[in-house]
Amino acid sequence: MSKEPAALEARGLVMRYGRHRDPVLRDCSFRLPAGRICALVGPNGAGKSTLLALAAGMLRPTQGTLRVLGTGSAESRPRIGYVAQTRPLYPRLTVAAMLRLGAELNPGRWDQEAAERVAYGADLDPKARIRTLSGGQRTRVALALALGKRAELLLLDEPMTDLDPVARHQLMGTLLAVTVEHGTSVVMSSHVLAELEDACDYLLLLGSGQIRLAGESEDVLTAHARLTGTSPDFAPHTVVESGATGRGHTALVRPQGPVDAASWVVEQPSMEELILAHLRNPGAPALFTRSASPASSQEAVA
């Protein structure tokens, strides 16, 4: 069966930062179909920035492959907009000069109007030098460069962390409008789960160096249920997390067959609830929806 084009496709991806160090990414295989807005989540040190830097061609994998927009990451670099966590910019340049540089480096694809909309949205002075900007203002300029490039794939490492709530809301709106208009693929890491729930339609959860959940948010969500009842036995369903409550026993499960509604109150968990349960329980079995799965060894739904 032919699959739709992939923004990212990892096979057996291993990354270690030194020969004697433990690998940060261990045998990761997954697919991210093109045109999705993907949340990349995981605990501190899980390897999110590493995965984004590999996709941006800033690092080379120790083993395995990571294909980006159907090619190697070096070849795809002109088609990628990467906002690294450190927001690397030229400190001596003014904001306007930084955008001019963006235009010069991306002839034929630069969108000055989109870049200015992002950079100057909060009365940022075009003549201000980068080194004088606040963290949030630098983030605006970094996002402006990525969006101005009309990239086919945006790799955004915690893009909203140092923005104030109004700027977050405004920039997320701009980002979504641009991506919907141009069919851009986005991978966005963040720890703010509520923010991702609103914006993203795809999920990659990294933990212990491996992909734990991968797929359309909707499919990943509907593959889970919250069951509450009087018995602590949730068989035959796969339990991700369970506990006692005032109402009896409750568990977030991955149903294996029909759920007996006479025995349990069945609810749909929120995305935040689901991600938190998986972060707290790294031993829960991995789940890949069909579109996310290049391998056959994981449990696949949808």
Ligand X SMILES: Nc1ncnc2c1ncn2[C@@H]1O[C@H](COP(=O)(O)OP(=O)(O)OP(=O)(O)O)[C@@H](O)[C@H]1O
Q: Give contact residues for ligand X (rule: CB under 6 A).
A: 17, 24, 42, 44-50
Q: Give 47 or 148: the residue with its C-beta nearer to ligand X.
A: 47
Q: Are 254 and 287 in contact (CB under 8 A)?
A: yes
Q: Give 207 or 229: the residue with its C-beta nearer to ligand X.
A: 207
Structure tokens that stand for 140 in this block: 């605006």
Q: Give 2 or 44: the residue with its C-beta nearer to ligand X.
A: 44
One-letter amino acid at 273 equals E
Per DSSP, helices labelled H in 208-270 are 217-222
Q: Give 126 or 135: the residue with its C-beta nearer to ligand X.
A: 135
Q: Report the nearest approach of ligand X to the CB of residue 192 (Å).
A: 12
Q: Give 172 or 192: the residue with its C-beta nearer to ligand X.
A: 192
Q: Report the nearest approach of ligand X to the CB of residue 44 (Å).
A: 3
Q: Report the nearest approach of ligand X to the CB of residue 175 (Å).
A: 20
CA 39 to chain centre: 3
Q: Give 17 or 90: the residue with its C-beta nearer to ligand X.
A: 17
DSSP 171: H
DSSP 46: S
Residue with tokens 């031993």: 283
d(CA 252, CA 273): 9
Structure tokens that stand for 108 in this block: 């034929």
Instruction: Give strand pairing partners of 268.
Output: none
Q: Are 55 and 155 in contact (CB under 8 A)?
A: yes
Q: Report the nearest approach of ligand X to the CB of residue 278 (Å).
A: 15
Q: Report the nearest approach of ligand X to the CB of residue 148 (Å).
A: 25
Q: Give 46 or 284: the residue with its C-beta nearer to ligand X.
A: 46
Q: Report the nearest approach of ligand X to the CB of residue 17 (Å).
A: 3
Distances (CA, A) of 73 to 55, 62, 139, 171: 6, 14, 24, 27
One-letter amino acid at 261 equals A
Q: Report the nearest approach of ligand X to the CB of residue 51 (Å).
A: 7
Q: Report the nearest approach of ligand X to the CB of residue 58 (Å).
A: 10
One-letter amino acid at 77 equals R
Structure tokens that stand for 248 in this block: 């009896």
DSSP 268: P
Q: Is the peptide bond before 91 cis (omega within 30 degrees of 0)?
A: no
- What's the sign of the alpha-carbon dihedral 135, 139, 140, 145? positive
d(CA 27, CA 114): 38
Q: Give 49 or 210: the residue with its C-beta nearer to ligand X.
A: 49
